[in-house]
Amino acid sequence: NNDKVNDQWRQLEYGMFIHWGLYSVFGGERNGIAVKKGYSEQIQMWDDIPEPEYLEAAKQFTGENFNPKKICELAKAAGMKYIVITSKHHDGFAMFDTATTDYNVVKQTAFGKDPLKLLADECRNHDLKFGVYFSLVDWHQGHEFDENNCNPIPASMEPVIVQQLEELMTNYGEIAEVWFDMSSPTREQSIKFANIVRKHQPNAAINSRIWNNVGDFRTLNDNQVPEQTLDGPWQTPASIYHETWGYRRWQERNDFSKRVRALIAGLTSVHARGGNYLLNIGPRGDGSVVEFEEEVLRAIGAWLNSHPHA
Ligand code: JFZ
């Protein structure tokens, strides 16, 4: 029941968001030229990259420095209690092992493994809860590029989404949170997708971007700090730089203390108003965590440790 979901989910308080996919190989650049429009995780749309060219990045997606143990240790050091990773972003490239399509990380990339499985298992070793981001926009399954990412979901896409959710909800152990994103599902579709989560993962909290008031908690805008406490459970997704979630090679990273202070202000204000804070990192295509982001997270953790709350 909902009280149980909310009670359990509220304990999570503060977590790590991870945007990692083929777009991480691009790092916000195409053939060495910065793409200055849009979030870097959406570079395929913003630079109108044909799918075959986009998929070329899979060869460079080595994941050789993807280290779930280090990521979990970093989350712990930052004071976080859970991790939510992109299982599939708008590009439709599945970052998990799936029978629904060969357009997935195991089949196509140099890495050739299921990062969700590796991370989910490691989370359990570190007493961290695990969750997945799942985009309802899927350019591979046939959604047109739409800068607002609000395409409706054709009935033909439903079986794929249903099966992918079945896989995600059954192959990775306990799921604490399912973070749907974008598109414009009908009420029936929202209910259908939520029911799959609820059937297999009764304790998983679903965010409001399942749409149609079907979710368990509200997702606010990026880095949004409401003026007051809000009714019901809610979360602020936060990014270190505001302009991108996925890795951006040309991102300026020269304002360390300012960033740290802004994020601590965001985290503590959100927490004080009863919200949950989900802070993003965008690893490179080789899986390495950007050093600046790691240091930011460690500085937040150090501050939290020196200011224990009641
Ligand atoms: C969405 C995605 O399109 C984006 O790529 C990223 O994954 C982010 C976490 O979620 O972007 C949004 C969606 C809604 C808002 C802002 C960014 N909003 O309501 O302010």
Residue 272 above 60 pLDDT?
yes
> What pLDDT is attached to residue 2?
67
Share of the chain above pLDDT 90, in %: 95
> What pLDDT is attached to residue 29?
98
> What pLDDT is attached to residue 7?
75
Helix (H) or strand (E) holding 180: strand 177-181
> What pLDDT is attached to residue 6?
67
**Looking at ligand 1, which atom is closest to the CA of residue 137?**
3
308: confidence class by pLDDT, cuts 50, 70, 90: confident
Q: What residues have CB less than 8 Å from 132, skipping those under 6 apart? A: 84, 85, 86, 87, 116, 168, 172, 175, 177, 178, 179
Residue 310 above 50 pLDDT?
no
Q: How far is CA 77 from CA 86, 175, 180, 230, in A?
A: 21, 22, 27, 29
Q: Give residue 304 CA to ligand 1 midpoint distance, Å.
A: 27
> What pLDDT is attached to residue 228?
87
CA 222 remoteness from chain centre: 13
47: confidence class by pLDDT, cuts 50, 70, 90: very high
Q: Give residue 181 CA to ligand 1 midpoint distance, Å.
A: 7
> What pLDDT is attached to residue 229?
87
Distance CA 42, CA 196 (A): 27
Share of the chain above pLDDT 70, in %: 98
Distance CA 181, CA 235 (A): 14
Distance CA 78, CA 72 (A): 10
Q: Give the residue from 123, 129, 126, 57 showing the smallest Cα distance to 95.
A: 57
pLDDT in tens, 205-243: 999 999 999 999 999 999 999 998 898 999 999 999 989
> What pLDDT is attached to residue 95?
99
Nearest residue by C-alpha to atom 6 in ligand 1: 245
pLDDT in tens, 153-198: 999 999 999 999 999 999 999 999 999 999 999 999 999 999 999 9
**Looking at ligand 1, which atom is closest to the CA of residue 245?**
6
> What pLDDT is attached to residue 45?
98
Q: Give residue 185 CA to ligand 1 midpoint distance, Å.
A: 16
> What pLDDT is attached to residue 27?
98
Which of the listed residues 135, 180, 181 should we mutate to test ligand 1's pocket, taking the one with most ligand atoms within 8 A of CB? 181
> What pLDDT is attached to residue 4?
63
Q: Are 206 and 219 in contact (CB under 8 A)?
A: no
Three-class DSSP category at 291: helix
